[in-house]
């Protein structure tokens, strides 16, 4: 059988965002080798340029007409992929801007490698979101995971970072094994790796759970669901999340908490809500149970945390629960709500991690809840920003988080699953408790050092030693100044969080378009 | 002339290998051995892909196997690098000792 297939220039244009990110990664590595060590901090500029170029590619693809499918149906640039790309680019851009200053403070010398790996991980995320074939989903997933393993273990000589990298590596590879076995069984049952082919087979063959291809397909769906549930850190596959998020460098945590989730949720949408839609009755129960377990469990576990980074990790698990409602519903309104939620989550979560990063000293010191006491009097701007991000994560009206929660709960009611809404609202109430705990510590609890420093200032006859200790206390209290780019990232995240809350309409219509709604 | 093995036998072997891999990951404490168990899982999946490819007369499964092999090789590089960097700073590698973070 003769088989010819030509790759046209149009195919390459369809993956313009991926190419832009990849070229930026390669350029970072190339330039890194050519410039003196003291200039390496400037490599972040190449990364940000790459993100902007990818953004231009997304805008070009939104404007383009014709079939979005490319490379023989391997990848696509449909509105769903483009929306997910926008969210991933936002998270990548903000994480890059947060990095200068911080990664030097953590003792990192190889800044070139750091930025190159961030760009490669972003490439993998975008590629996974654009995949319409099981092979490409797997490749995209691995391209995003492999750089993240290294990035998690990146801080030199920090035990927690090494632990974080090791745990993520072992558990993520373990989950990849399940994911692959699921893909193999689905391929065996349907004879296709291409999602369109799988959908065609499932739609045209009646399935029996006990005979024929039925049991194999059921097993495949279950294993694939386990693999992807691990990636979005749904309970009971969440055990890695808090340790990995706490130990990794904070910009990396911010990137993976948003980018990996977005890519994996698009894969869940494409595989379950689209390709396997004809057998929805067989998988809906799993997603329904995962959503409830994750919402309730994530919020309860977060309420007991004393480390802010860890608290945000559990909060990201809880948010994965709300997002899973969109998958479990299986309706287009549910998918649109999920996408909007993800965009809102991107700005508010990266913003919250950004403030944590600004306050963090070396090796994860300064991330305990106790370190946030009296923050409002020491760093009022940062405290106010963190308060806005936490209010948004809790879902207070006027912020992006409220619109997102409203959209997803409304979709659950109209989709005939009011019980998910009720459980979701109750779980959000628990969420209020731990978000407000941080805000309470910042605004209403005095800092432990402050009385001593004030007493020293009040005494006019300070001894030299006393003066020194007061100065030291004051310096320690105010912490390191914020790098310009990190301030810019926080400002952008703040604008996004409030902007999406007050003017949600344009992004909601974009999300509806991505979900195939008019 | 010997009878060719039926596809179900290959699938059974693949399932058994995969299970051995899963049990290995869950029960062993040395990261290297855990990692070997993960590799066993991946190769069990490869066997499934090959079996389905032959049974379905389709090449997709074979291509998938190549991708899995390549990715597994890349994973080895990164995994061993992380294990070595931990070994350098602690002189022992038992996953039960990786417990500086709790909650």
- Please write the tens of the pLDDT for every residue from A286-314: 999 999 999 999 999 999 999 999 999 99
Whether residue A236 has a cis bond before it, omega within 30° of 0? yes
Q: Does B31 touch chain A (CB under 8 A)?
A: yes
Give the residue from A151, A170, A227 with the most B CB atoms within 10 Å of its CB, the best one to mutate.
A170
- Indicate the DSSP class of residue A483: P
A386 vs chain B: nearest CA distance in angstroms? 23
* Residue A258, Cβ density class (10 Å: 0-12 exposed, 13-18 middle, ≥19 buried): buried
C-alpha A120/C-alpha A83 separation (Å) is 19
What are the C-alpha distances in Å from A487 to residues A90, A95, A272?
16, 12, 40
Q: Does A478 touch chain B (CB under 8 A)?
A: no
CA-nearest of A380, A321, A325, A330 to A355 is A380
CA-nearest of A250, A411, A429 to A330 is A411
> Residue A464 — pLDDT band, cuts 50, 70, 90?
very low
Provide, as residue numbers in chain B, all residues whose Cβ is less than 8 Å from the Cβ of A1.
none
**How do the pLDDT tens digits run along chain B, 103 residues long?**
455 567 788 999 999 999 999 999 999 888 889 999 999 999 999 999 999 999 888 899 999 999 999 999 999 999 999 888 888 877 766 777 777 776 6
Provide, as residue numbers in chain A, all residues whose Cβ is less than 8 Å from the Cβ of B18.
177, 181
CB atoms within 10 A of CB A461: 5
A130 Cβ partners below 8 Å, 6+ apart?
A: A15, A18, A75, A76, A77, A81, A84, A85, A136, A140
> What pTM value is reported for the model?
0.91
Tell me whether residues A149 and B49 touch, CB distance under 8 A.
no
A23 Cβ partners below 8 Å, 6+ apart?
A: A50, A53
- Please write the tens of the pLDDT for every residue from A152-164: 988 777 788 888 9
CA-nearest of B59, B22, B76, B68 to A138 is B68
C-alpha A228/C-alpha A126 separation (Å) is 16
Tokens of A261: 């989730």
Which residue ranges make up each domain of chain B? 7-97
What backbone phi and psi angles, to 5 degrees, belong to A69?
A: -75, 145
Provide, as residue numbers in chain A, all residues whose Cβ is less than 8 Å from the Cβ of B38.
170, 173-174, 177
- Nearest CB to B78; choose among A149, A193, A306: A149
A108 vs chain B: nearest CA distance in angstroms? 15
H helix intervals, chain B: 7-27, 31-56, 60-90
E strand intervals along A239-286: none
Strand partners, A133: A194
Tell me whether residues A162 and B71 touch, CB distance under 8 A.
no
Tell me whether residues A193 and B68 touch, CB distance under 8 A.
no
| Architecture of domain B7-97 in this structure | Orthogonal Bundle (1.10)
Provide, as residue numbers in chain B, all residues whose Cβ is less than 8 Å from the Cβ of A166.
31, 82-83, 86, 95, 98
According to the model, what pLDDT value does residue A136 have?
95
Tell me whether residues B38 and A138 touch, CB distance under 8 A.
no
Tell me whether residues B64 and A193 touch, CB distance under 8 A.
yes
Nearest residue on chain B to A162, alpha-carbon basis: B86
Q: Does B64 touch chain A (CB under 8 A)?
A: yes
Nearest residue on chain B to A306, alpha-carbon basis: B103
The ipTM value here is: 0.92
Residues A262 and A88 sit within 8 Å (Cβ to Cβ) = yes
Percent of chain A, pLDDT > 70?
91
- Please write the tens of the pLDDT for every residue from A327-364: 999 899 999 999 999 999 999 999 999 999 988 877 66
C-alpha A128/C-alpha A140 separation (Å) is 4
């Amino acid at each position: 059988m003769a088989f010819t297939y030509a790759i046209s220039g149009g195919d390459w244009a369809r993956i313009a965002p991926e190419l832009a990110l990849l070229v930026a990664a390669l350029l970072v590595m190339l330039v890194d080798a050519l410039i003196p060590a003291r200039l390496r901090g400037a490599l972040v500029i190449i990364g940000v340029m790459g993100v902007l170029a990818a953004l231009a590619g997304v805008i070009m693809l939104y404007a383009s007409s014709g079939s979005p499918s490319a490379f023989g149906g391997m990848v696509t640039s449909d509105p769903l992929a483009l929306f997910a790309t926008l969210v991933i680019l936002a998270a990548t851009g903000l994480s890059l801007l947060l990095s200068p200053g911080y990664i030097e403070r953590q003792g990192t010398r190889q800044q070139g490698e750091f930025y190159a790996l961030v760009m490669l991980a972003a490439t993998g995320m975008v590629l996974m979101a654009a995949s319409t074939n099981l092979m490409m989903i797997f490749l995209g997933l691995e391209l995003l995971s492999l750089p993240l393993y290294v990035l998690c273990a990146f801080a030199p000589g920090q035990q927690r970072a090494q632990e974080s990298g090791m745990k993520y590596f072992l558990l993520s590879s373990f989950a990849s094994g399940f994911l692959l076995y699921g893909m193999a069984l689905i391929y065996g049952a349907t004879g296709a790796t291409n999602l369109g082919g799988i959908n065609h087979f499932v739609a045209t063959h009646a399935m029996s759970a006990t005979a024929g291809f039925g049991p194999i397909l059921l097993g495949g769906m279950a294993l694939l669901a386990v693999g992807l549930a691990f990636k979005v850190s749904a309970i009971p596959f969440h055990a890695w999340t808090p340790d990995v998020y706490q130990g990794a460098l904070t910009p990396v945590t911010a990137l993976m908490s948003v980018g990996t989730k977005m890519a994996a949720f698009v894969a869940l949408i494409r595989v379950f809500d689209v390709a396997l839609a004809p057998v929805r009755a067989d998988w809906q129960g799993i997603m329904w149970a995962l959503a409830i377990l994750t919402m309730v469990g994530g919020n309860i576990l977060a309420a007991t945390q004393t480390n802010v980074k860890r608290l945000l990790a559990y909060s990201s698990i809880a948010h994965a629960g709300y997002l899973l409602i969109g998958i479990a519903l299986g309706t287009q309104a549910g998918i649109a709500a999920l996408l909007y939620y993800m965009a809102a989550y991107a700005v508010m979560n990266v913003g919250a991690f950004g403030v944590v990063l600004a306050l963090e000293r070396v090796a994860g010191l300064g991330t305990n809840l106790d370190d946030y006491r009296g923050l409002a009097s020491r760093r009022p701007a940062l405290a106010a920003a963190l308060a806005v991000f936490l209010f948004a994560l809790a879902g207070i009206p006027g912020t992006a988080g409220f619109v997102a929660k409203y959209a997803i709960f409304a979709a659950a009611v109209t989709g005939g699953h009011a019980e998910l809404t009720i459980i979701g609202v109750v779980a959000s109430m628990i969420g209020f408790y731990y978000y407000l705990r941080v805000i309470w510590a910042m605004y209403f609890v005095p800092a432990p050092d402050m009385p001593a420093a004030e007493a020293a200032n009040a005494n006019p006859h300070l001894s030299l030693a006393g003066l020194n200790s007061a100065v030291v206390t004051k310096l320690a209290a105010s912490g390191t100044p914020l790098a310009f780019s990190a301030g810019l990232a926080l400002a952008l995240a703040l604008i996004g969080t409030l902007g999406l809350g007050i003017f949600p309409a344009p992004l909601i219509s974009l999300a509806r378009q991505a979900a195939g709604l008019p | 002339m010997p009878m060719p093995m039926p596809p179900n036998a290959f699938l059974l072997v693949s399932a058994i290998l995969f299970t051995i891999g899963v049990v290995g990951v869950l029960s062993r404490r040395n990261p290297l051995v855990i990692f070997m168990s993960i590799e066993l899982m991946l190769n069990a999946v490869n066997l499934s892909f090959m079996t389905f490819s032959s049974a379905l007369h389709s090449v997709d499964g074979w291509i998938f196997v190549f991708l899995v092999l390549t990715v597994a090789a890349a994973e080895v590089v990164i995994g061993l690098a992380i294990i070595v960097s931990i070994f350098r700073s602690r002189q022992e590698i038992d996953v039960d000792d990786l417990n500086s973070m709790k909650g």
